[in-house]
Structure 1
Amino acid sequence: MPKIERAVPPYMQVVTHIRGQITSGELSPGDLIPPDRALAEEWGVSRATAQKAVTVLKAEGLVEATQGSGTRVRRAPALHHNGYDRAATVRRTGKIYAEGEYARITSASLQPAPADVADALGIAEGAPAIRRIRVTYGPGDVALSMSTSWLDGALAASAPALLETERIREGTWHYLENCVGRTAVHGQDRISVRLATAEEAELLSVTQPAPVKVTRTTLRDEDGVTLEYGVSVTEGRESIYDYAV
């Protein structure tokens, strides 16, 4: 039975719970969420509070009202896939992707590190860096995000699968832990908005000019050394994160 904690507004606790069910795949596209009357009873809140929670979920693009049948999870939910979301999904389900999602690695190669990548990884500009480009799809083969992961090129000798376009089944983080004994323990996301490049617009199937949200994720190991630097691009939509202060 869910329980209200007073540190966070009750309606946002309901939102966070249902959002988590959607991102983890517990609620699939097309599934009904409880009506506001049932939510109010389940959570022990007023009906107005339950209605406010559903309104927020609609504003985030996670659910939509369907005439005569209630409120359902969107068939192509506008989820923002960044390092925080990936880590949260792994903690909840042991899997990187939610139900109905899959990814394709479109490129995996050694490339000279651009200045921002070199700075993030702590290597010299132009030094070899592993670049992996991934496109994540949702139900209906809708492209949800495009991400580019960068890692120190020196890792290629011990972790050769990083240079292959076959998806690493156990996930990059677990693979690196097994191969080189380094574990990602801290992540930071920096989020900004800009217009899509031609390549991004093509991969995300959006028409230019199109705003996109860019998340730069830095993952560090136990020693504070950067393990992976990633740039994730999604169609420009609002993302909301809740936390106690």
Structure 2
Amino acid sequence: MPAIERSLPPYMQVIAHIRAQIEAGELRPGDMVPSDRDLAKEWGISRVTAQKVLTALKAEGLAESVPGVGTRVCENAPKMHHTGRDRASAVRRTGKIYTPGEYARIVSAELVPAPADVATALSIEAGAPAIKRVRVTYNKEDQPVSASTSWYDGELAEAAPRLLEAERIPEGSWTYLEKRTGRHAVYGCDSLDTRLATEEDAALLGLTLPAALKESTTTLKDGENVVVEFGISISQSGRRSVYEYELDN
């Protein structure tokens, strides 16, 4: 049973919940979105607030009105770029990482000297051993849509040996790491930017250069502010990221 938390305005929480259902495939293209009356009853909000939810979903291109019927999920809802925050939220909410029709392949998993920027993020010495896992995500047409590189302190290799296997970890690498080490990720920070693709990027995503990319870096930390995972994700243009936040008065 969904419930309103007081940290965000109610309509934003309901929007985020329905958006997540659409991204996870729990609501598929053509499925009906709950009516304003049903949303009001289910969430304990007013009809006016529920109507704001439906209006916002339509504005995002995720839903559309059907005269005499109601509101349904759009057939061509915008594709989403999933950052580390998105994947972490999906795992804890549904136990799944990828949306229906998408799948990933681990193209490499190895112990390498940490580059300077990675070493800084992981709080280790530059050149010290670091675990590097590279995955490519594909859509239902088997086309690569994004690639990500996850980095971990090399000292974790003994406790979590599957991080060095070029095979998918169904529950997600950072969840696996939590189970093996007890280091529970409680804080995350994402940074988004755009840049031109390199030859390595083009090889991973099947791009023709020059090409523009969206890049996000994600840092997950435990309760003691120790980095659990540092990741870099890239995707082609045309995949949207959505964040909601409050502004101080």
Give TM class, smaller chain: 0.7 to 0.9
Cα–Cα, structure 1 residues 39 and 180, in superposed 2: closer, same or farther, change >3 Å?
same
How far 1:134 moved relative to its partner?
0.7
Q: TM-score, with normalisation over the residues of structure 1?
A: 0.80
- Describe the shift of the 1:33–1:211 C-alpha distance in structure 2 as closer, same or farther (beyond 3 A): farther
2:55 aligned with 1:57: no
Task: Trace 1:74-93 onto structure 2 (pairs within 5 A).
Answer: 74=75, 77-93=78-94
Match of 2:59, as an amino acid? Answer: V
- 1:159 corresponds to: 160
Query: What's the counterpart of residue 186 of structure 1?
Result: 187
Cα offset, 1:196, TM superposition: 1.7
Q: 1:109 to 1:5 in 2, by over 3 A?
A: closer
Cα pair 1:64 1:74 within 8 Å, conserved: no
TM-score, normalised on structure 2?
A: 0.79
> In the alignment, which residue of structure 2 is the partner of 1:171?
172
Q: How many residues align?
A: 235
Matches within 5 A, 1:89-168: 89-168=90-169
168-177 or 44-53: bigger deviation: 44-53
Alignment partners' CA distance in 1, 2:161 and 2:2: 45
Q: Is this contact kept in 1: 2:106–2:168, CA < 8 A?
A: yes
Paired amino acid for 2:22: I
Indicate how the Cα distance of structure 1 residues 239 and 174 shifts in structure 2: closer, same or farther if over 3 A, else same: closer
Tell me the distance in 1 between the aligned counterparts of 2:65 and 2:199.
34
Flag as ranges the 4+ runs of structure 1 deviating above 3 A.
1-10, 12-15, 30-34, 38-43, 45-52, 62-66, 69-77
Cα drift, residue 50 of structure 1: 6.3
- 2:16 aligned residue: 16
Unmatched 5+ residue regions in structure 2?
A: 40-46
Alignment deviations for residues 81-103 of structure 1 (CA, whole Å, 9 cap, x no partner):
11110121112212222333221
Q: Distance in 1 between matches of 2:201 and 2:54?
A: 37
